[in-house]
Amino acid sequence: GQQVMQIPQYQHVQEGEDFTTYCNSSTTLSNIQWYKQRPGGHPVFLIQLVKSGEVKKQKRLTFQFGEAKKNSSLHITATQTTDVGTYFCAGGANFGNEKLTFGTGTRLTIIP
Amino acid sequence: DAGVIQSPRHEVTEMGQEVTLRCKPISGHNSLFWYRQTMMRGLELLIYFNNNVPIDDSGMPEDRFSAKMPNASFSTLKIQPSEPRDSAVYFCASSFKGTGTTDTQYFGPGTRLTVL
């Protein structure tokens, strides 16, 4: 079945440093979504990417979808303590099929 | 909107007991998902419904697990009998399924289940 892996599993950064997490799918995706889960909380939707090579920005967050639609990345510029949490990518196999396969997640901790 | 509502928020039970987790999706949403999250296995999809009909239950671990959605505003996930390895956080999520899209999923706060 479809597998979605993320690296790194953990990342500790100094506040103000940049952070990147990478997501790789074993199969081609129709779309990819990113979610953030704060410690003790639940996943919260951040963004959806649909087009090959698509890049979207949300303030300090930049999301990319690979040309082959099998990988994606999330980059955070100048991290802040509010960025703490686990970031998940979630791949959709087909449009019209709502099933998402969640990645293994990257847990980000910030050193003040 | 109140968001997805789950109850109970915490459940501690003994091995062999029946456990029922409940979920109320966001009003107007027509798809509902049950996930299980553990440190070892991450976030796993157990089952999902569209218009109250189970569409994919391939993630349900075994016959001890069952899920129902009797109407558009309520779903249950039942474990009978429960085992210590079922200890996890169980999330319910809902979405509105349009045509030709994979829509945003809205997660509830989760139920933390501990089976002793």
Q: Do B105 and A101 touch (CB under 8 A)?
A: no
Is any Cβ of chain B less than 8 angstroms from the Cβ of A108? no
Residues A84-101 have pLDDT tens digits of 999 999 998 876 667 899
Is any Cβ of chain A less than 8 angstroms from the Cβ of B106? yes
Average pLDDT, chain B: 93
Please tell me the predicted confidence (pLDDT) of residue B96: 87
Is any Cβ of chain A less than 8 angstroms from the Cβ of B107? yes
Please tell me the predicted confidence (pLDDT) of residue A28: 93
Q: Give the total number of structural domains in chain A.
A: 1
Q: Do B99 and A96 touch (CB under 8 A)?
A: yes
Please tell me the predicted confidence (pLDDT) of residue A95: 65
Partnered with residue A36 across adjacent β-strands are A44, A87
Which tops the pLDDT comparison, B13 or B40?
A: B13
Reported as a pLDDT band with limits 50, 70 and 90, residue B97 is confident
Distance to chain B for A101, nearest Cα, Å = 8
What is the span of the domain harbouring residue A32? 4-49+69-106
Q: Residue A30: inside a domain, yes or no?
A: yes
Q: What is the mean pLDDT of residues B74-99?
A: 93
Reported as a pLDDT band with limits 50, 70 and 90, residue A7 is very high
CATH number, residue A87: 2.60.40.10
Q: Residue A23: inside a domain, yes or no?
A: yes
Q: Which residue in A88, A95, A98 is closest to B48 by CB distance? A: A98
Q: Is the dihedral of CA A36, A41, A43, A47 positive or negative?
A: negative
Q: Which residue in A100, A101, A104 is closest to B105 by CB distance? A: A100
Q: Residue A61: inside a domain, yes or no?
A: no
Q: Which residue in A30, A41, A104 is closest to B42 by CB distance? A: A104
Taking contacts as CB-CB distances below 8 angstroms, the residues of chain A near B101 are 95-96
Give dist(CA B107, CA A1) in Å, integer. Answer: 24
Q: Residue A16: inside a domain, yes or no?
A: yes
Reported as a pLDDT band with limits 50, 70 and 90, residue A112 is confident
Please tell me the predicted confidence (pLDDT) of residue A46: 97
Q: Residue A95: inside a domain, yes or no?
A: yes
Residue whose C-alpha is closest to residue B76's, from B68, B64, B88, B65: B68
Q: What percentage of chain B exceeds 90 in pLDDT?
A: 84
Please tell me the predicted confidence (pLDDT) of residue A2: 77
Reported as a pLDDT band with limits 50, 70 and 90, residue A72 is very high
Q: Residue A56: inside a domain, yes or no?
A: no
Q: Which residue in A30, A43, A88 is closest to B102 by CB distance? A: A30
Q: What percentage of chain B exceeds 70 in pLDDT?
A: 95
Q: Cβ(A33)–Cβ(A97) under 8 Å?
A: no
Average pLDDT, chain A: 94
Residues A9-41 have pLDDT tens digits of 999 999 999 999 999 999 999 999 999 999 999
Taking contacts as CB-CB distances below 8 angstroms, the residues of chain A near B106 are 45
Q: Residue A64: inside a domain, yes or no?
A: no
Residue whose C-alpha is closest to residue A41's, from B31, B109, B91: B109
Reported as a pLDDT band with limits 50, 70 and 90, residue B100 is low
Q: Residue A59: inside a domain, yes or no?
A: no
Is any Cβ of chain A less than 8 angstroms from the Cβ of B53? no
Give dist(CA A68, CA A71) in Å, integer. Answer: 7
Please tell me the predicted confidence (pLDDT) of residue A90: 95
Taking contacts as CB-CB distances below 8 angstroms, the residues of chain A near B104 are 33, 45, 48
